[in-house]
Amino acid sequence: MSPTLPDLVDSHCHLDFPDLIGETAEIIARARAAGVNRMVTICTRLKNEPKVRTLAEAHPEVFYAAGTHPMSAHEEPLATVEELVALARHPKFVGIGETGLDYHYTADSKSIQQTSLRLHIEAAQETGLPLIIHSRDADADMEAILAEGIARRPYSCVMHCFSSGPRLAEAALEMGFTLSISGIAAFPKSQDLRDIFAKAPLDRLILETDSPYLAPPPYRGKRNEPAYVAYTARALAPVFGLTLEAFAAQTTANFDRLFPRAARAAKAA
């Protein structure tokens, strides 16, 4: 890595999605050229886990996580705790999910989403790997279910692509969780979201793209990819009074603490 580049991580992308599949080597090369040296690709349907695992196995920079996305929970078999624990034995498997609640488009399936979320929480508790949460238009139920889990047994968690309200942010931070900053936070009209992040402890923030979605300016509305996490970092660093390099170093250290398997692999490389 060039010493002039920031040391960044894309903590959440979807390299197996149609917009990105088949270009993995080129995508990784562009990411490294931007200072993005590691990425976690997320499997959202467990039937696709073998394909996502193969991507991670083929590229040292790529790690993976797997779970059932809440928007597909009603059309996929319920994941079992045993199934998730078994997947977690793979050395490049670093997180449980994404899972969560989405009442924006799929409120009709809220009951099965809640059941699925509780199963993923139990798997995170069993494995010690971080839970990766998707939450949209479900703040009250999300807070209640996450807190219910913490009351039973501790676990770590990241609120992926956080774009909810300040109360859920406060609750997640009180539970010891991490907030993930996506390209949404770099949109001009996202000042309320930037204000939420500005109030969070700096050691509880990580960066992501959620690519191929949610590209930050100047690529908003276009296909996103891991390299573009650098634009989000550049836009957010001033919120904390930091240089790009300092903000990158802090968020990468936060990532390493939350995802220790990925950290160990990077040190061993």
Measured distance CA(247)–CA(175) in Å, rounded: 23
Q: Is the pTM of this model over 0.85?
A: yes
Average pLDDT of 196-220?
A: 98
Residues whose CB falls within 8 Å of the CB of residue 75, separated by 6 or more in sequence, listed in order: none
**DSSP label at residue 180:** E
Give the start-to-end residue ranges of the domains of the chain.
Answer: 8-268
Measured distance CA(178)–CA(152) in Å, rounded: 19
What CATH class does 8-268 carry? alpha beta
Give me the pLDDT at residue 266, please.
Answer: 77
Digit-coded pLDDT (tens) for 11-36: 999 999 999 999 999 999 999 999 99
Measured distance CA(227)–CA(218) in Å, rounded: 13
Asked whether the beta carbons of 5 and 30 are under 8 A apart, the reply is no
**What are phi and psi for residue 126, nearest 5 degrees?**
-70, -40
Digit-coded pLDDT (tens) for 229-248: 999 999 999 999 999 999 99
